[in-house]
Homo-oligomer: A and B are copies of this chain.
């Protein structure tokens, strides 16, 4: 993957989406926002099948933005959530490089 693009912290991204859309997001609520997430997930699936890399990248960005929007409405800190769940290794086996049995989820 190229590393030329600027980095962004997960917390800054969540704040950016909050600043951009929070008023509308709150008015729409979790249920209405979840519908938009599902639409974007469908577009991502289609793009993974037949899109260009640029189109697929844009669909990933949209899914991430809508997921973040729902986290904002539900008052969940995504950074704290991922650090808690994945910051100490695989939640299944506890290792940095997962060694869970292949039949298991991860």
B7 touches A11 (CB 8 A): yes
Quickly give the copy total for this chain: 2
Per DSSP, are chain A's interface residues mostly helix, strand or loop, or mixed? helix
Instruction: Please indicate which of the listed interface residues A11, A16, A63, A82 has the most CB atoms of chain B within 10 Å of its own CB.
Output: A82
Size of the A side of the interface (Cβ < 8 Å), in residues, is 65
A16 x B48 contact (CB < 8 A): no
* A26 contacts chain B at the CB level, 8 A cutoff: no
Q: A45-B34, A106-B21 are in contact. Are A76 and B60 (CB under 8 A)?
A: yes
Mind listing 15 A-B residue pairs with CB under 8 Å? A1-B75, A1-B80, A7-B12, A8-B11, A19-B97, A20-B97, A21-B98, A23-B97, A24-B98, A53-B76, A56-B74, A60-B71, A61-B81, A63-B67, A64-B64
